[in-house]
Amino acid sequence: MEQHSDRVARIMAEWERERPDLDLAPQGVFGRLHRLANHLTEDLVAVYRTFDLAEGEFDVLATLRRAGAPFERTPGELAATTMVTTGAMTKRLDRLEARGLVSRRQSADDGRGRVIALTDAGRELIDRAFTAHVANERRLLDDALSATDAATLERLLATWLAHYET
């Protein structure tokens, strides 16, 4: 097994000393996934900030953009897709609407319902931000993993995630 000298390895070594009776192998996986997720989130959010977007605002604009023309979804669809409460979604939408990036209107299908749509300014911004985001993701992968390792990792993560999401 390959030896690592990261913080997780040091923590595991301390636990091995204190509790040699336990199988600590899962701690190596979970500890590294947790720490890596924190580092990657910081690296991803840094790009969003260059477009004056918070992570949640980027998610809303991206969700509307990938809906295809006319780039609309209901607030409930947005909340479900981005996995936040409707209250949190309302705050995000208020900020994006104040900036002229989204608009709200009544649904033609349901007079009580609302529809959120990207404005032209919102579409232009998310197209630029998403282009930078994808380039950033490419850089983050290429800086750390070979193409083969990245493909293997993607396959393993997809298998593991399917255990929860199917």
Residues in CB range of 105: below 8 A, 6 or more apart:
114, 115, 117
**Overall average pLDDT of the 36-53 stretch:** 97
Residues in CB range of 35: below 8 A, 6 or more apart:
6, 7, 8
Compute the distance between CA of residue 127 and CA of residue 74 in angstroms, rounded to an integer.
Answer: 21
**Overall average pLDDT of the 122-147 stretch:** 97
Structure-block tokens of residue 166: 């199917």
| CA separation, residue 131 to residues 62, 99, 136 (Å) | 11, 21, 9
Higher pLDDT, 112 or 148: 148
Residues in CB range of 42: below 8 A, 6 or more apart:
none
Per-domain residue ranges for the chain?
1-50, 55-126
What's the pLDDT at 112?
A: 65
Binning pLDDT at 50, 70 and 90, where does residue 87 land?
A: confident
The pTM (predicted TM-score) of the whole model is 0.86
- 55-126, which class in CATH? mainly alpha
**Overall average pLDDT of the 33-59 stretch:** 96
